[in-house]
Amino acid sequence: MESPAKEDAGGELAMEIESSVTAEDWRRALSRVVPSVVVLRTTAPRAFDTEVAGASYATGFVVDTSRGIILTNRHVVKPGPVVAEAMFVNREEIPVYPVYRDPVHDFGFFRYDPGAIKFLKYDEIPLAPEGASVGLEIRVVGNDSGEKVSILAGTLARLDREAPYYKKDGYNDFNTFYIQAASGTKGGSSGSPVVDCQGRAVALNAGSKSSSASAFFLPLERVVRALNLIRDSWDGFGTKPESVYIPRGTLQATFHHKGFEETRRLGLRNETEQMVRVVSPAGETGMLVVESVVPEGPAHKHLEPGDVLVRINEEVVTQFLRLETLLDDSVGREIDLQIERGGVPLTVKLQVEDLHSITPNHFLEVSGAVIHPLSYQQARNFRFKCGLVYVAEAGFIPKQPGHFFNLSNTLQCRYMLSRASVPRHAIIKKFAGEDIANLDDLIAVLSKLARGSRVPLEYVKYTDRHRNKSVLVTIDQHECPMDLKCQYDSENLADGCFKMQTDDEIVVDGSHSSEDSLVEKKRRRVDEEIAAEGTLPSYGDLEDVKGDLLMHPSNGEGSDLARTTSSNASLAEQVIEPALVMFEKLHRLFYELCSEVHQKAKSMLSLGKASFIYLTLHEPALRRGDSVYLVGLSRSLQATSRKSIITNPCTAVNIGSADCPRYRAINMEVIELDTDFGSSFSGILTDEQGRVQALWASFSTQLKYGCSSSEDHQFVRGIPIYAISQVLEKIISGTQGPFRLINGMKRPMPFVRLLEVELYPTLLSKARSYGLSDNWVQALAKKDPVRRQVLRVKGCLAGSKAENLLEQGDMILAINKEPITCFLDIEKACQELDQSIGSDGVLNMTIFRQGKEIDLIVGTDDPHSAVRALGFLPEEGHGVYVARWCHGSPVHRYGLYALQWIIEINGQPTTDLETFIQVVKGLEDGEFVRVRTVHLNGKPRVLTLKQDLHYWPTWELSFQPETATWRRRTIKALQSTTA
C-alpha cells in the first residue's frame, strides 16, 4: 500500500472525478455489478480454530467467470470444514467449494462450476486496489442484515486504519491497513464488493462497528496476488492443478504502524527519522513497530515489543504491503532486519517461516471433542507457541433435556472433556501421566486406553496461563465414537473439504479390556450369590470392597453417567467407579454410602479398616416430628452427617411444564425437613439405627419471569424409600422381565405399569364444595386421616389408554372398590396387575365427574415420555420426534429444529423410527428432500433439506439389553466416511 500522504493527494483527484459522476453512471455500474454478487449460505459442520460449528449467511462476488471463482472473507470460507451454496440474483443456487483461505488476512475464494449457471448473464467484477482513495464515493452491494441485494452508499474516509480487533479469543486480522467508511454495514454483508462508479471493486467489506456506523474494508493488493497465482496454476472445473501453493512468509511477529511522534518517544534517533522522510519523498508519517512476538517463533528472543523496524535487506520498510511482499518472497530463507531498540541500532538475522506450515489442516474428533494443533491465529491471541494440542470444541452438553442424534433411539451423548469441565480453548499438557507436545502424542496415549478408564488430564487456559488445571477424564466413546482423524486436501480443489477418515489406532472401544480389579471380582461374586439365592448376602466379610452407591435423581445440570463414590471407615481412601443403571427409576441399591454417620451408626462399622455393611430398607412411613439423619457426600466427596426433623412427610411435588419437553417428577410425594441444607448436598435419610428411610434428592424446575424469560431452579427433598423398595424387591427376587447385563450377570428387570395420568391432591373440604358426597368424604378421611385428600386429574398423556376416558378435573375415588387417597395407592394398584396371572392390565375405577359417580375401566401403559406428557401428538400417525439438533448440521442450515415431529419425507409417511429409517435409506448425498413437520404447538410446516453424508452420516444408536450398552449402527454414509 502507498503512503497515506500519496493517498490524500490521490483523494483530491478522486473528488474532482466524483463531482462529475451522475446517478445514471451509478445505475449503469450497479446493473453490471449486481448480477455478479451472490448470497453465500455457509455451514461449519465442526468447530475449528477460531470458528465454532454453525450456519450463517454472507456475501461473495464473482472475480473469474471462466474458472468460476468467488471472492469473499476468510471468516466466510472458514479455516476448517465448510459446506456452502451460492445463490445468484435470479435464484439459481449451486454448491461452492473452498479454494483458498488466507492464514492471516480476511479474504478467501470459493469455486463453482460455471456451466451450472443456465439462466443468468453476468460478468466478473474487476479488482482495482489502486482505485481506493480518500473521498471516493462507493457502494457496498451485498446481503446486509440478511436482505438480498442491499446497496449501501458511503465515502472512503481513511486508508490507513488499524486492522479491526474483533475478539480476544477469535479471528483478528493484523499486519495490514484497513479502509474505513461510514456506510453502516451489518451482519450478512461480509464479503461484499466495495465498488466505485465504474463498477470496479476497490476493497472488500470485512467488518463494522455498530456504535459508530463505521465499516471496515480490506485492501485488495494481496487479494490480487493470490488470485493471479491461482489462475496461473489451474484451469477448468474439477481439474487438479499442478500446484496451488501460494507462498506466505512470516516471522510470527505483529507490527503496528506508529506515527513519528510515537517512535520518537520509543527512542528513534533524529538521523533515522530524517533518513526515512527523505527516502519517502511523498511524505511518510510513521514507521512499523513490533507489537508482539509469538513464543518460540522465528522472532522470539530476537525482536521485542517497542522495536522500530528500519530496514529489511538494506531496504527501508515503513508500510505493511512492502513488509509482506518481502516476507512472501523469502520463505525458507534468512533476511536481515535493522531495528532500533530504545535508540540503539541493531541488526538481526531471522529465518522466514512458511505461514501455511503453522496453519492447521487436520483435526482429531474424539467423544464429541474437536482437537487440533494450535494455529498461528490463536497462538498470537493466547501467547502460546504454535502446534500445541488445542481444544477447539470440548463437546456440548445441553442444559435442556434432549439428545444429539442423526437417526437414533433416544440417547444423550457423553462428552468426556466437557463432562470433566475441560473448556474450549484449553491447551492439553499431560494425559494419563504422559507429556503431550503435539497431536500425535495425544493419539498415541488414547490408543492405549480402555473404555471406562479414568485418567488424569492436565491443561492450561489462556486466561489463567500460569496455573495448570488437573481433572479426571473418563474414556467413554462407545456411544459417541466419531473418533476421526480428518485431513484437509488442499490440492483437490474440486472437492475442497476435509476427508473424514477413521484411524484404527485411535479408536477405543469395548475390545480393549483391562484386568479386573479386586473390587470388580468381589462385585461379581456378590452378583453370583444374588443370582443363585435370590436374596442379598451379608457384606460384612467383604473387607476389601469399597462399595456401590444408589445415585439420586440427577439435578437440572444432569450427570448422565452415574458414578459411585464411597470411603472406608477412616476416610483415608476414596474410590470412584462407574455404575451401571439397573432400573431407570431406581438407579442402584445402596450398599454403603459413608462411615462417618451418627454415633449409633458408627457402632456398626469396624473402625480403622475398610469394612462393608448392608443398610436395610426401612418400610414404615415417616411421620411429622420424627428425627432423621441426613448422611451423604459433599461436592468435595467428604462424608457428612446432619440431624433434622420431619415437618411434612407427604408433600405432593408440583413442577409445572417447562418451555420444552424435559423430565419432571409427577404423582410423587416427598419429605420436607425443618432445615434447608441447600441444593449441593444429597444423600440418604436414616433413623438412629442407620436404616435407610429416604433418598435426599434434587429436583429441577423452571421459574418464569414475566412472559419471555425463565431460568432453571433446583430444590432438594426426600424421596420415601417405599417408592423404591417395591420395585427393588422384584429385581432381587428375579421377577421375570427383560434381561439386562449387570456386572457380567444377566438380571431380569421387572415390568412396570403406570396409569399415564397426571394427578394432584385436593383437600376433602374443597372436594365437598365441588359436590362430593359426605359418604365419600367420610370414607376417604377414614382411609387416610393424615392427608384428608382426594386425587384429581390434571391431564392425561397423549396417546395413553386413559386419554379418551378420563377428563381434567375428575376425582379418582376408588380402584377395584378400594378408596384411593394418595399416589402410592395408585402405584400399588398398578403393581398388583403385574402379580396377577392373566391380567389384562386394566383398572376398575370409580370417579366423580360433574356431580356424578362413574365407573370406568381404564388401561395402563409402560412408563411415559416427557413429550407425551404435554398432552399432544400429531393426528396423522404420530411421526418421528426431533428431540435435538446439532450446530453445523444440515438441519441447522435449513431450519429443521427440535420440538416437532417429522410426518413425511418426500410424501412418504414416517409413522415411527423404523419407517423413517427405511425412507431415508434411499436418499443420496446432496439430494434435496421435502420434509413435512408438525410443531408441538400444532403448526404444520413443509421445508426442504439437503443431506450431507460426508460430515453427517446417517446412523442409529440403540440400547442392547444383553450387554447393557448403547451400540451405534451406520445406516448410510459415503465411502470416504467411516463411522
Classify residue 603 by its DSSP letter.
T
What residues pair up with 902 in beta bridges, in sequence order? 880, 933
CB-CB contact of 48 with 170 (8 Å): no
What residues pair up with 391 in beta bridges, in sequence order? 371
CA distance 60 to 81: 18
Q: Which among 382, 513, 551 has a CA at the least distance from the CA of 460?
A: 382
3-state secondary structure of 312: strand
Q: Which among 120, 127, 137, 136 has a CA at the least distance from the CA of 70?
A: 127
189, 190, 375, 595: which is the annotated catalytic residue? 189
3, 49, 56, 75: which is the annotated catalytic residue? 75
422: CB partners within 8 A, 6+ apart: 391, 394, 457, 459, 471, 473
CA distance 939 to 903: 12
Q: Which three cell numbers stand for residue 387?
A: 502446534
Helix (H) or strand (E) holding 930: strand 928-935
The amino acid that residue 569 corresponds to is A
CA distance 979 to 954: 10
Length of the chain: 979
* DSSP state letters, 542-592: -TT------PPPP-TT---S-EEEEE-TTS--EEEEE---SBTTTB---S-
CA distance 368 to 391: 11
366: CB partners within 8 A, 6+ apart: 416, 446, 477, 482, 483, 506
CB-CB contact of 56 with 75 (8 Å): no
CA distance 606 to 600: 13
CA distance 514 to 578: 14
3-state secondary structure of 325: helix
**At 941, phi and psi to the nearest 5?**
-160, 150
Q: Which among 520, 373, 510 has a CA at the least distance from the CA of 452?
A: 510
102, 106, 160, 196: which is the annotated catalytic residue? 106
**At 777, phi and psi to the nearest 5?**
-60, -45
Q: How far is CA 929 from the centre of its chain?
A: 26
Our answer to whether residue 189 is catalytic in this structure is: yes
Terminal CA-to-CA distance of the chain, rounded, Å? 49
Between the alpha carbon of residue 935 and those of residues 798, 869, 872, 890, 897, the distances in Å are: 15, 15, 10, 19, 10
Our answer to whether residue 31 is catalytic in this structure is: no
3-state secondary structure of 864: coil
Our answer to whether residue 106 is catalytic in this structure is: yes
CB-CB contact of 918 with 933 (8 Å): no
Q: How many CA atoms lie within 13 A of 229 on its CB side?
A: 16
CB-CB contact of 217 with 184 (8 Å): no
For CA atoms 954, 474, 739, 552, the dihedral sign is negative
As to burial, measured by CB atoms within 10 angstroms (0-12 exposed, 13-18 middle, 19+ buried), residue 659 is exposed
CA distance 903 to 890: 18
Helix, strand, coil percentages for the chain (3-state, nearest 5): 20, 35, 45
CA distance 733 to 209: 70
CA distance 386 to 361: 13
760: CB partners within 8 A, 6+ apart: 652, 654, 791, 792, 794
- Known catalytic residues are 75, 106, 189
